[in-house]
Amino acid sequence: EVQLVESGGGLVQPGGSLRLSCAASGFIFSSYWMSWVRQAPGKGLEWVAHIKQDGSEKYYVDSVKGRFTISRDNAKNSLYLQMHSLRAEDTAVYYCARGRTTFEYWGQGTLVTVSS
Amino acid sequence: QSVLTQPPSASGTPGQRVTISCSGSSSNIGSNTVNWYQQLPGTAPKLLIYNNNQRPSGVPDRFSGSKSGTSASLAISGLQSEDEADYYCAAWDDSLNGLVFGGGTKLTVL
């Protein structure tokens, strides 16, 4: 059974940093692109970033470029999102999803709240 | 303001057929495939339609997708109360070099 479990969310002050993790199981992690998608409270879905199987290609939505870094550790079946210079508008539930543009599997999400 | 435009709401009675539209441009829907996601309250999104009109295993054939030019549609026939959810379209945008979602449509089953 495919499982994606996010962790690392929490309350952080504006300008702060946070690292999200996504533990994958039930499939060959190293064979898939992986993505992060977020959803602000009461709002729609927003793609954040995705990373190629070997980590050689990474793409980001413009609003997070230069502040967020997506990475992966295939030996640990894990996906990460390092977030710096966090802003109030980054407040959202962050989902880990399998795939580059088609997301058949999603995690349950982890809430990131940016507030003083 | 989302790159893909969806109506904010839709409604229907049990058994009815409803459609949800998704309007884009030549750089997204016009040149790439469209996926649809269903998000039940308090849960993660679920892939409903991929590659414009393909259903993942387990998705009832009451759900169907289509695409024409720079627009796409999701149709739900034989509407059921459990279909009450938010629905999102998504497509890659060649100009933005990123994946874009519609703003979402909240479907109410009356």
% of chain A with per-residue pLDDT over 70: 100
pLDDT at B103: 97
Which tens digits make up the pLDDT trace of A66-89? 999 999 999 999 999 999 999 999
Query: For A95, which of B44, B50, B102 is closest by C-beta distance?
Result: B44
Q: Calculate mean pLDDT across residues B10-33.
A: 97
B32 touches B50 (CB < 8 A): no
Alpha-carbon Rg for chain B, nearest whole angstrom, is 13
Determine whether the interchain pair A102/B47 forms a contact, defined as Cβ–Cβ distance below 8 Å. yes
- Chain B residues bordering chain A (beta-carbon distance below 8 Å): 2, 32, 35, 37, 39, 44-47, 50-51, 56, 86, 88, 90-92, 96-104
Mark yes or no for CB contact A109/B44 under 8 Å. yes
Whether the Cβ atoms of residue A35 and residue A103 lie closer than 8 Å to each other: yes
Is B1 a residue whose pLDDT tops 90?
no
**Residues of chain A falling short of pLDDT 70:** none
Q: What number of C-beta contacts closer than 8 Å exist between A and B? A: 54
Structure tokens at B51: 């590659």
Please determine, for residue B39, whether its predicted confidence score (pLDDT) is greater than 90: yes
* CB of A8 less than 8 A from some CB of B: no
